[in-house]
């Protein structure tokens, strides 16, 4: 009796109603049984048994056996039932995913139409936390660039020696990219699929490959802020600090031309006081 009740409980956990779970548990013995016998063992109201049995037959969970007196029922191999349930659940899951993707495609279209005007109204955004949302916000801002991107960055983590597709396309259509990199070696380089420790030679080689796409580069031996200025109008400031836990990190997006001008003055100051690759290599 204890095992019977445990089976009913498990069947209910996977979506069976109370009565359906009781009928299924009784059938699971594999015996050929009449509706009356099933009602007696399942301890359910007799009026509900025929609808439940018809639904099980339709789903292919049990066979309906005609005799000269009454209809009888027998469960089919549980392995076959499991296969049927998995296929049905997978089908329903895929339908739900399709609906989700379709709905969010429409939402994205709606967002794209309205977001640009809304962003103009938001002069200052604070993005907290250490998550993908910060990266997506940065990429969204980059995509608004039309003329020039000026950036100051510190290499950290894994750095690829290949320029990304956005950089190539932006420069190809006439855009200008000026970048100041802090000349530290606290990073690793991904080159030809291999990860190697950074050294001065590796740093120069990475920067040369970036320059080959048209990016203008300087190296600073002094600390620099982590900042990107878009078209002299918008500023993205990364506030990461090695001494502060990741969850307290935050970025700022400031869409004010006056502030952007001040930051361009700061960028130009660092630019003039930084080294070309040739100057750094000969230093």
CB contact at 8 A, 245 and 273: no
Q: What is the mean pLDDT of the chain?
A: 84
Q: What is the rounded average pLDDT of the residues 252-277?
A: 94
pLDDT in tens, 71-114: 999 999 999 999 988 998 899 999 999 999 989 888 887 776 65
Q: Which domains does the chain have, with CATH numbers?
A: 2-80 (1.10.10.10), 113-282 (3.30.870.10)
| pLDDT at 127 > cutoff 70 | yes
Three-state SS across the chain? CHHHHHHHHHHHHCCCCHHHHHHHHHHCCCCCEEHHHHHHHHCCCHHHHHHHHHHHHHHCCEEEEECCCCEEEEECCHHHHHHHHHHHHHHHHHHHHHHHHHHHHHHHHHHHHHHHHHHHHCCEEEEECCCHHHHHHHHHHHCCCCCEEEEEEECCEEEECCCCHHHHHHHHCCCEEEEEEECCCCEEEEECCEEEECCHHHHHHHHHHHHCCCCEEEEECCCCCEEEEECCCEEEEECCCCCCCHHHCEEEEECCHHHHHHHHHHHHHHHHCCECHHHHHHC
Q: Does 168 or 134 have the greater pLDDT score?
A: 168
Name the residue among 2, 42, 15 with its Cα closest to residue 26. Answer: 42
Q: Indicate the pTM of the whole model.
A: 0.53
Q: What is the rounded average pLDDT of the residues 188-194?
A: 67
Q: What is the rounded average pLDDT of the residues 166-182?
A: 91
pLDDT in tens, 193-231: 666 676 777 778 888 888 888 999 999 988 888 899 999
């Amino acid at each position: 009796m204890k095992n019977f009740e445990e089976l009913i409980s498990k069947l209910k956990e996977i979506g069976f109603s109370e009565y359906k779970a009781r009928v299924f548990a009784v059938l699971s013995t594999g015996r050929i049984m009449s509706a009356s016998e099933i009602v007696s063992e399942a301890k359910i109201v007799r009026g509900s048994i025929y609808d439940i049995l018809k639904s099980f037959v339709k789903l292919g969970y049990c066979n309906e056996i005609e005799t000269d007196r009454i209809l009888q029922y027998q469960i089919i191999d549980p392995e076959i039932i499991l296969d049927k349930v998995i296929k049905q659940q997978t089908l329903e899951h895929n339908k739900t995913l399709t609906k989700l993707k379709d709905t969010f495609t429409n939402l994205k279209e709606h967002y794209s139409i309205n977001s640009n005007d809304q962003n103009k109204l938001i002069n200052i955004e604070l993005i907290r936390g250490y998550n993908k949302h910060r990266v997506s916000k940065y990429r969204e801002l980059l995509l608004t660039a039309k003329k020039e991107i000026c950036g100051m960055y510190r290499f950290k983590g894994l750095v690829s020696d290949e320029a990304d597709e956005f950089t190539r396309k932006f420069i190809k259509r006439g855009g200008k990219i000026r970048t100041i990199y802090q000349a530290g070696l606290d990073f690793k380089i991904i080159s030809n699929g291999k990860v190697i420790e950074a050294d001065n030679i590796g740093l120069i080689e990475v920067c040369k490959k970036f320059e080959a796409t048209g990016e203008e580069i300087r190296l600073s031996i002094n600390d620099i802020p982590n900042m990107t200025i878009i078209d002299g109008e918008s500023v993205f400031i990364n506030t990461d600090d090695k001494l502060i836990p990741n969850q307290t990190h935050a970025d700022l997006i400031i869409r004010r031309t006056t502030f952007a001008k001040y930051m361009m003055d700061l960028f130009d100051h660092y630019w003039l006081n930084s080294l070309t690759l040739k100057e750094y290599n000969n230093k």
